[in-house]
Structure 1
Amino acid sequence: MTNAAAFTLAGKKGLVLGVANERSIAWGCAALARAQGAEVVASCLNEKARKWVEPLTAPIGVDLVNCNVEEDGQLEALVKHAVDKFGKLDFVIHSIAWAPLEDLHGNVVDSSREGFARAVSVSCHSFAELAKLCAPHMKDGGSMLSMSYLGSGEAVPNYGLMGPVKAALESMVRYMAMELGPQNIRVHAVSPGPILTRAASGIADFDGLMATAQAKAPLQRLVTLEEIAQLSAFLCSDAASGMTGQTIYVDGGVHAVD
């Protein structure tokens, strides 16, 4: 018999990284998790971001911690804050990505070694670092999610450097799923269609990318922040207990058509 309670995050404790403003995927995920009854700690990049984010998180009872994953000790401090508050973790959502603009806006063949390395470190390897820190505190198992994009598996104009970086992220998801599965920790990449977030605004001709996606989509529209959050909430719930190691699209069907 179906357990309706499995389709909720009530009573779960979670950590959501990467809230930038009201349009960020991390914010959509954190807000829905709270609405479903989860307790949540969230992160933003720094004090500059905090002035935009705290007015969102404070009214719904989400603790906010500054965390720049390039700064030594900040990721560790974020996880410690969450564990000290909750005693354990049930889900972790990693929604951070970054590349230097000069590398992001150029051809992949022209990217600098330093820029590529920083993009991989921030957007991909930080997920593995986060998992290492969080897994010991997921004694009952749980879910870890990161955010990808269609450009990981095919060449998307203007997506450039982030395509190979997201491909690495999706591969990392599969290896993390294999390694953490014995601890009943499930790992997924969520691959949304394009929506106008602060990170997306750094991609050249992003309006054109959104227009192309809408024209190709079988649903004939772009997806919403709420739809991305709903998929993420499902994957963090007990209803998804038999799933791990996948890249799951929420893009109106764009990935399925030529």
Structure 2
Amino acid sequence: MRHFLLSLFIPLAITLSSCDRNNNFVMMAPEEDAALGKQLSEQILSQPEQYQVLDPDEYPESYAYLRNIVQTILESGEVVYKEEFPWKVYIVKDDQTLNAFATPGGYIFVYTGLIKFLEKESDLAGVIGHEIAHADLRHASRQIQKAQGLNFVLSLILGENNNALGEIAAQLAGHLAGLQFSREYEQEADARSVEYLAQTSYPCSAAASFFQKLQQEEKQGRTPTFLSTHPSPENRVKEILAHSQQLGCDTTSTSSGAYQEFQNSLP
């Protein structure tokens, strides 16, 4: 009987101690998210034929502008892992791709095609808020946990598989731009984006206007990469607007010449 009770207690103790700060069951520690993200970013930067990342030293003003958007969202007070993750941002030169993605640990990659496609800074802030939410809610780590199984994650935690992070990074590096999350995760990221932006000067529903613009593209027979890797925006606009109304946050959108200057600064 005692052995039976102990066998029950150990998994229970692991479960109780493995809820993260978003109250989700994630056995990987935030430090492992950051380590995986670092390895992934290094893999991406080493593949210029697939990811043509602009050099920050050559485009300091462009990067400063984009970092300011990221920092504004991080300063909202709503990003749970603001201090634990490095939150680095990169610009990928590809005018044909309307996309952005974030690795675990908050390494954010934004395509020039997306930046030039959008008309307002707030629209871009809505997308970046969505991608920050994926990292902050630890969606990739939760997805890895489901795909690899608890035994794999336990071996990682216990140090029994020292090459695990490198193996995962190698597998993901070539597919991050097309990484697909469940509808539940996408809804969570949409809602969290609203909550982030509600505490900034941006309209909290900014992600909705982005999806509306994507819908227009789809109606014209063009399917942006973002739509091929994310669920249809058909109901997402309604959900974002409904959440904004529920929070009672400002949805007024304004534009400025600064965003056009940012667009023009890119190659």
Same topology, TM > 0.5: no
Q: Say which one has the larger Rg.
A: 2
Structure having the higher helix fraction is: 2
How high is the TM-score relative to the length of structure 1?
A: 0.29
